[in-house]
Amino acid sequence: MSESASSGATRTIEIEVLRYRPEQEAEPVWQSFQVPFTDDMSVLQGLQYIKDELDGTLSFRWSCRMAICGSCGMMIDGKPRLSCQTFLRDHYPGKLRVEALAHFPIERDLVVSVDGFVDKLESIKPYIVPKEPRALSQGEHLQTPAQLEQFQQFSGCINCMLCYSACPQFGLDPSFIGPGVLALLHRYNADSRDGASAERMKIVGAEEGVWHCTAVAYCSEVCPKHVDPAHAVNQNKVNSAKDYFLGSAAAKEPAK
């Protein structure tokens, strides 16, 4: 480690932010800021310095600063990243470029519209739908460790939408339900306590569903929680194929 890094010395990095202020600009424009930083400062903290000290009109989303809420996602040097989890020291001495998440309509500066994503999320019923009514007196829905393992990995999604900015198919066709929602859909379909799998599979097999995926798998590479949405998509393709062929076979059977 260098002496300057170990001593916590302050250096200065240039952060170039793609600004969009609809009341004064027809198109987004780049604006450059000189930001002093120490080795423990994240990109989010750099943006907060700009807002607090240099330009109070800069707009961006953030909340937890701990890679839990998923709200501070943006394009950092062309890659979808959580700004709270990305450090300025890793980009020094070069210039750092920050812009809004790709493939989403920009509302202002680094803030994008999430309406389409929320609509897709709500459509899959992202909660457990009981297979049958159950009274509190009947106790918990017990699961074995093996049953938990079927969906546990996919339950880590924080809805940061980085996978959507990484997905070229979503960029080409915003109607594609997308990797993050498909991963959460699989999380509930794989849960032994849930009874809405057949309903969700209609979404999986729809025109804008799982077969829209072109298997690039960049979505899993950028996922900050290692959910591996590409794996969930592949499992959904298998389940969709089973539904199609087994359903077709059942339809062709003569009535008894």
pLDDT band at residue 50 under the 50/70/90 scheme: very high
List the CATH number of the domain containing 155.
Answer: 1.10.1060.10
- Determine the structural domain holding residue 179 and report its residue range: 115-252
Between 240 and 134, name the one with better pLDDT.
240
Residue 9 pLDDT exceeds 90: no
**Domain check: are 33 and 107 in the same one?**
yes
Beta-sheet strands, E only, within 70-129: 73-76, 79-82, 96-99, 106-108, 111-112
**Domain check: are 103 and 185 in the same one?**
no
Please state the rounded mean pLDDT for residues 17-43: 96
d(CA 161, CA 159): 5
Residue at which a domain ends, from 92, 112, 132: 112
Euclidean distance between the first and final Cα of the chain, in Å?
77
d(CA 72, CA 50): 15
Best CA proximity match to 173, nearest among 206, 124, 199: 206
**Domain check: are 126 and 242 in the same one?**
yes
Q: Are 203 and 185 in contact (CB under 8 A)?
A: yes
Lowest mean pLDDT across 128-137, 169-178, 199-208: 128-137
Burial class from Cβ neighbours inside 10 Å (0-12, 13-18, 19+) for residue 111 reads middle
Please state the rounded mean pLDDT for residues 141-163: 95
List the CATH number of the domain containing 15.
Answer: 3.10.20.30
Angle CA 215–240–196, to nearest 5: 120
**Domain check: are 93 and 14 in the same one?**
yes
Please state the rounded mean pLDDT for residues 146-153: 96
**Domain check: are 165 and 198 in the same one?**
yes
Residue 255 pLDDT exceeds 70: no
Instruction: Count how many domains the chain has.
Output: 2
Residue at which a domain ends, from 112, 139, 168: 112
